[in-house]
Amino acid sequence: MPPRPPAPSTLADLRAVVGVAGALDAPADLAPYVEDFRGLYHGSTPLVLLPSSVEDVARILAICDRDRVAVVPQGGNTSYCGGATPAEHGAEIVIAMRRMNRIRAVDPANDSMIVEAGCTLAAAQDAARAAGRLFPLSLGSEGSAQIGGNLSTNAGGTAVLRYGMMRDLTLGLEVVLADGRVLRALQPLRKDNTGYDWKSLFIGAEGTLGVITAAALKLFALPADTATALAGVPSPAAALELLLRLREHFGEAVSSFELLPRRAVELTVRHVDGVANPLADDSSPWFVLIEIGASRAIADPTTRLGEALASAAEAATVAGAVLATSAAQAQAFWRLRESVPEAQRRHGASLKHDLAVPVSAVPRLIELGTALVERSVPDGETIAYGHVGDGNLHFNVSQRPGTDRATFLARQAPLQAAMFDLVASLGGSFSAEHGIGRLKVEELERRTDPVELELMRTLKRALDPQGIMNPGKVLR
Kindly tell me which residue out of 136, 386, 391, 435 binds ligand 2HG, with binding defined by CB under 6 A. 386
Q: How far apart are CA 287 and CA 259, in angstroms?
A: 6
Distant-in-sequence, close-in-space partners of 370: CB < 8 Å, separation ≥ 6: 382, 384
Q: How far apart are CA 258 and CA 424, in angstroms?
A: 23
- Rounded to the nearest whole angstrom, what is the least distance from the CB of residue 103 to ligand 2HG in the complex? 25
Helical H runs in 209-287?
A: 236-250, 262-271
- Rounded to the nearest whole angstrom, what is the least distance from the CB of residue 25 to ligand 2HG in the complex? 33
**CB neighbourhood size of 145 (10 A):** 24
User: For the window 138-157, what string marks contact with ligand 2HG as x by the rule CB under 6 A?
Assistant: --x-----------------
User: Which CB, 383 or 468, lies closer to ligand 2HG?
Assistant: 383
b/e sequence 162-196, b meaning 16+ C-beta within 10 Å: bbbbbeebbbbbbbbbbbbebbebbebeeeeeeee
User: Which CB, 91 or 340, lies closer to ligand 2HG?
Assistant: 340
User: Which CB, 46 or 136, lies closer to ligand 2HG?
Assistant: 136
Kindly tell me which residue out of 162, 394, 438, 460 binds ligand 2HG, with binding defined by CB under 6 A. 394
User: Which CB, 30 or 159, lies closer to ligand 2HG?
Assistant: 159
User: Which CB, 283 or 331, lies closer to ligand 2HG?
Assistant: 331
Asked whether 306 and 240 are in contact (CB, 8 A), the reply is: no
Q: How far apart are CA 62 and CA 119, in angstroms?
A: 24
User: For the window 102-141, what string marks contact with ligand 2HG as x by the rule CB under 6 A?
Assistant: --------------------------------------x-
Q: Which residue is nearest to ligand 2HG (CB)?
A: 341
- By CB under 6 A, how many residues form the interface with ligand 2HG? 7
- Rounded to the nearest whole angstrom, what is the least distance from the CB of residue 383 to ligand 2HG in the complex? 9
- Rounded to the nearest whole angstrom, what is the least distance from the CB of residue 352 to ligand 2HG in the complex? 5
Q: How far apart are CA 299 and CA 250, in angstroms?
A: 11
Asked whether 133 and 143 are in contact (CB, 8 A), the reply is: no
**CB neighbourhood size of 304 (10 A):** 17
Q: How far apart are CA 406 and CA 358, in angstroms?
A: 34
Kindly tell me which residue out of 52, 228, 396, 398 binds ligand 2HG, with binding defined by CB under 6 A. 396
Q: How far apart are CA 421 and CA 435, in angstroms?
A: 18
User: Which CB, 37 or 250, lies closer to ligand 2HG?
Assistant: 37
User: Which CB, 81 or 305, lies closer to ligand 2HG?
Assistant: 81
**Residues in 336-355 at the binding interface with ligand 2HG, rule: CB under 6 A:** 340-341, 352
- Asked if 440 interacts with ligand 2HG (CB under 6 A), we say no
User: Which CB, 15 or 167, lies closer to ligand 2HG?
Assistant: 167
Measured torsion, CA atoms of residues 322, 326, 330, 331, in degrees rounded to the nearest 10: -140
Q: What is the DSSP letter of 19?
A: -
The CA–CA distances, whole Å, from 304 to 227, 312, 313 equal 9, 12, 14
List of residues contacting ligand 2HG (CB under 6 A): 140, 340-341, 352, 386, 394, 396
